[in-house]
Amino acid sequence: MASRRLGEVIKVSEELIKKACSLAMKAHKSPEKLYLVEKSRSSTEVIFSFPGYWSVDNWFTGSPFGEKKIDLGKFDSLKNIGNEDVAIFNEAFLNRFDAILSQLQIEVRKAVTEKKKIVFTGHSSGGPIAILAAVWFLQNGLDLNKTMKPLCITFGSPLVGDRIFNHALSREDWSQCFTHFVMRYDIFPRVPLAPLESTASQLHHILPLLNPKQTAQASFEEAAKALYWNVMRNASSVASNAACHLMGNTNKLLETISSFVKLSPYRPFGTYVFCTGNGRLVVVRNPDSVLQILFYSSQLSSGEGSEICTRSVKDHFGYQSEIQSLEAKTVTDLDQFEELPLSSNGGGGAGSSGIDIVLNELGLSTRARLCLCAAAELEKQKLRNQKKINDKIPDIEQALKILEGYKARCEAREVSYYDAFKASRDPDDFNANVKRLALAGICDEIMEMLKKYDLPDGFEGCQEWVKLGTRYRLIVEPLDIANYYRHLKNEDTGPYMTKGRPRRYRYTQKWLEYAEHSPTGTRLESSFWAQVEELIQTSNRNPFEAVQAKVSHLESQVKTWIEEGVLGDDIFLENSTFVNWWKSHPQHHTSTPWFSTRIK
């Protein structure tokens, strides 16, 4: 494979990377400032650089790993849409970002109006603030229809977000905005893999020494050694657990241990550039691969000892000298190789031995290489899974077309297809049920894949599937509701909406709400008949005055849904379940012109 420059591989100019690194280290030397801004009239970009923080309280807050769920009011995109899993981020860094946001956003918005390229950067614990600033920028649509996406370049940044954080950024196509440089032995990107209780005493000793304003120089070798071993021991547990999932380990013991041994939630995201220290750079985008490299690349090899523990701290300040010679670096894009050599005994030369040299310089053992192969295979499997379900789109569309024809035939007989299916007296109703069950099987398979993250991260945001899922929900869910109440499942299980509604309808509803930026729980048009059935049950037990507010609310929704065309006029057909129930209301209520006209 022909040698390429780093800028060509990651699509970020080397001069900009150098400038970002220089400014990140400049901010590091000015910890008393919230951030630094570098701009000039001749420059096409504005760079915001954030300083690091040098006390344990600035790194960890609260729980053993200091994690906190993201505030969806501020970062609505940072979640799994269907599962409703909310992303986790380091709380101490979230608090720090909140403290500077009001001032930062003024200058950022000003730079946007000047049509400048926005770059956020930070070294060490300044990196997480740069990350949050970039996510805030993207979340608030300041990228101007994706034509002015920001860049976030970090150097030695600790891990700060969980796999949902990575999933959400990938789904939104934001991962490409983030590039992280990591020296091979730098311990600080790996520190969050260990709980605070195991590293607190060492961090209390080491972090103040990293503060450029610290004048007294004290020895940190013993603390560095203890920090290294504590972090690596916990990193081993995290990497091993992740590797078991990558390789499809179904051992129940693993699940049992995971239930009472709390592991770090933090995972990589974006593009990582590993600096081997020998003039080579390794580019990795697969987050599962990055996690394994973070562990295996910093392990001690034969003949190495305490000097590596000391280097694990000193490497944290080696970025500027490493970055300034980018042009002389050999760049290897690990994602470009279909197969990796599993043996670590390669002897150089052409072909596969070239990548073998790089893997050896990263210290990647045969076990590590197997993990990287498994991570690559998992991504390929996700793509194969998506192709598999994409191939079923014609079958889904054909089944929906048949059910839409069934609905039209019911209306021609002047009966709602909901009532016809609930009665199920004709062969046509039986055939509709066969299609309903066939579609349920396909959709449930998709939902199970989504639950297990077995599909590419961008699947839930795919417009084709949002539209198809909405069409499916609108035509098929009324049939599920009819079947539910026909068999009186509400008496055994409970109301459909809270006890019986399948995941396939909840997920597809959330897809539409997210795509339209609608509040969660507002696109309930496909569940109209369930609301009617439950109001009938409530009305039978209570006077009208007790349910009037709920009745009026449903009527308001019906007006909107009819006007939007997502609910059909067949609900007003004579003797439909809805009409019979509505006519049972007191006369002063049924005289409402909008409804009475349509029912007549």
Does 316 qualify as catalytic in the annotation? yes
Alpha carbon distance 285, 562 (integer Å): 47
Alpha carbon distance 51, 58 (integer Å): 12
Catalytic option among 289, 316, 429, 526 = 316
What is the bridge-based pairing of β-strands 88-90 and 45-50? Answer: unpaired
Q: Which residues contact 507 (CB under 8 A, 6 or more apart)?
A: 81, 82, 447, 450, 469
Alpha carbon distance 165, 269 (integer Å): 8
Using DSSP's 3-state secondary structure scheme, residue 534 falls into: helix
Residue in this structure with the two tokens 């991504």, named with its chain if needed: 379
Helix H or strand E encompassing 272: strand 271-275
- CA max distance for the chain: 92
Torsion of CA 497, 499, 505, 510, to 10 degrees: 70
Catalytic option among 49, 77, 124, 576 = 124
Name the DSSP class of 497.
I
Catalytic option among 143, 162, 186, 333 = 186
Does 302 qualify as catalytic in the annotation? no
CA distances from 202 to 199, 208, 226, 299 (A): 5, 11, 7, 19
What is the bridge-based pairing of β-strands 67-69 and 88-90? Answer: antiparallel
Q: Which residues contact 232 (CB under 8 A, 6 or more apart)?
A: 190, 295, 298, 299
The number of residues in the chain equals 600
Asked if 528 and 481 touch (Cβ cutoff 8 Å), the reply is no
Q: Which residues are catalytic?
A: 124, 186, 316
